[in-house]
Structure 1
Amino acid sequence: MKAIFLSFAVLALPAIPTLAQAQAVAPVATAPKPPTQFQYLNPADFEPARLLPAPPAKGSPAEKLELETLRALIASASTARLEQAKWDAAHEDSAIFSTTIGRDITKLPATWELLEIVHSEANIAAGLSKVYFGRTRPWGLDPALHDCEGKPNANPLRGYPSGHATLSYSVGYVLAQLLPGQASAILAKADDYARSREYCASHFASDTAASHVVGTLAAVRLLADPRLADRVAAARAELAAH
């Protein structure tokens, strides 16, 4: 189903960092609670019914096919890939790209500030569609599936799109524009991080595909916003200097 969304974002295929390399990145200190309303994005651009097609209806043949495909994906996964998915689930911030770009993003203040804005705004955009569509997560449909995070009180009706995947696609797109020479590796990392949500049984492929749309649109809009021009320039200069 991801083919529906290919016109919205660039796909890349290089090899991704190993789990051991990713785990070498130091965790980020807990950030202040993010805002719940857009500070920069226009809500009209992210009206769910205008932005995304409805996901497969609950109990429909399309949903059953997605569930079967997801079960097969998880069953065929190596232990290492499942462990990576678990690690990815626990690390939902822009630092996931540190190993990919070869720099600790948490120690680049101008870059981190910009990416935090992107993450926050894109997360709000994804949340609008999560509430609007109210899609049941895979583990909410099949008790035999278990999510990586082990949150017994997690909301099973926030499956479409994925918040983690929206992070990877929005922040990944911005970093790819700031570091064009590393764009392929960055976009590949974004896609692989999004796929972890499927290995975790937290989302279907159509959920992460929807995140590709939301995240990329958010990133494009934010990079073009004149109110962020100075921050974008500062981040680009900082990355060029390190």
Structure 2
Amino acid sequence: MRLLLLTAIGLTFGSMAAGAAERDDRVPLLSATDLDPQAMLPPPPAAGSAQAAAELAELHTMQQRRSPAEIAAAKLDGATKNAAIFAEALGPSFDLTKLPATKKLFDMVRATEKQVVDHGKQEFKRQRPWIIDVSIDSCSKSDQPLSSYPSGHASMAFSMAGVLARLVPDRAGAILARAARYGESRIVCEQHFRSDVTAGEALGLMIADRLMAKPAFATAFEASRVELMQAGLLRTA
């Protein structure tokens, strides 16, 4: 009976430990002390300013010229919130379902980036385009009304691109170009204004830079580098 009890306790604690290990990949690694969006980014254009008017006009122009195929591609990008978007730049071998160490690394990036961006959105409280102008035909209007600046999608793409370009430097140009197209999808879908996207891009690169200085992240980065080399995605010296 005692042996059965000890076994049950051991299994319980083992399950708890495994659950904690899984959650670790989703624990943000940067605090507001490491990176405060309000301190690092310019404020969004003031309501009624010439820049705000120009950004709204850009969305009206986009609404007239975007094609159904462009809208469909932008919607697909909007629904894909992980590093799988970079398979286009790296090829089919970049499959996160077969690259657990790399998936873990980018889960860490995603958790950190989301917390930083959410903090920024709460600080700036910029209205979404369709709140400012009801004629704006966004792909979706389910986002919080005061969450336009900075763009979380753009920040995610560029934080991941900043890390991935360090992992696969000979593909850095293609990786960053893919991140830029991903950010542009937010304009095509009229989810964001132009300055939301550019702020998200800048913030994403800052997040990548800060993450590289964290020991836990550096360890995960090296494990991913080894895995990508074994998968033939890295050139050997």
TM-score range (shorter-chain normalised) is 0.7 to 0.9
Comparing 76-85 with 228-237, greater Cα deviation is found at 76-85
Q: In the alignment, which residue of structure 2 is the partner of 1:218? A: 207
Question: Helix, strand or coil for the counterpart of 2:159?
Answer: helix
1:160-205 deviation line (CA, Å, top 9, x unaligned):
0011111100011111110111111110000000110111111111
Cα shift at 1:39 = 3.5
TM-score normalised by the chain length of structure 2: 0.82
- 1:191-230 pair list within 5 angstroms: 191-230=180-219
Matched, 1:117 2:98: no
Residues 71-90 of structure 1: pairs in structure 2 closer than 5 A:
71-90=60-79
Q: Paired residue for 1:135?
A: 126
Q: What stretches of structure 1 move > 3 A for 4+ residues in a row?
A: none
CA contact (8 A) 1:137 1:156 kept: yes
Determine which of 212, 216, 230 is the counterpart of 1:241: 230
Q: Secondary structure at the match of 1:131?
A: helix
| Corresponding position of 1:63 | 52
Alignment length (residue pairs): 207
Residue 100 of structure 1: which of 77, 89, 98 is its match?
Answer: 89
Whether contact under 8 Å (1:172, 1:186) holds in the other structure is yes
1:39–1:78 CA distance, 2 compared to 1 (3 A): closer
Cα distance in 2 for residues equivalent to 1:48 and 1:104: 32
Q: How large is the RMSD of aligned CA atoms in angstroms?
A: 1.8
- Structure 1 spans left out of the alignment, 5+ residues: 1-30
SS at structure 1 position matched to 2:48: coil
**Inter-partner Cα distance in structure 2 for 1:146 and 1:90:** 18
- Structure 1 counterpart of 2:174, which letter? A
- Where does the alignment leave 5 or more consecutive residues of structure 2 unmatched? 1-21, 232-237
Quick one: distance in 2 between partners of 1:79 and 1:95? 23
Hey, what does 1:28 align to over in structure 2? none
Q: CA deviation at 1:49?
A: 2.8
Alignment of 1:41 onto 2:30: yes
Per the alignment, residue 21 of structure 1 pairs with none
Shift of 1:114: 0.4
The higher relative CO (CA closer than 8 Å, separation ≥ 6) is in 1
Deviation at 1:142, TM superposition (A): 1.5
Report the TM-score, using the length of structure 1 for normalisation. Answer: 0.80
- Given that 2:165 and 2:175 are in contact with CA atoms closer than 8 Å, whether structure 1 keeps it comes out as yes
Q: Is the 8 A contact 2:130 2:141 kept in 1?
A: no
Shift of 1:58: 1.9
**What amino acid sits opposite 1:51 in the alignment?**
M
The within-5 A match list for 1:8-23 is none
* CA deviation after TM superposition for structure 1 residue 150, in Å: 4.8
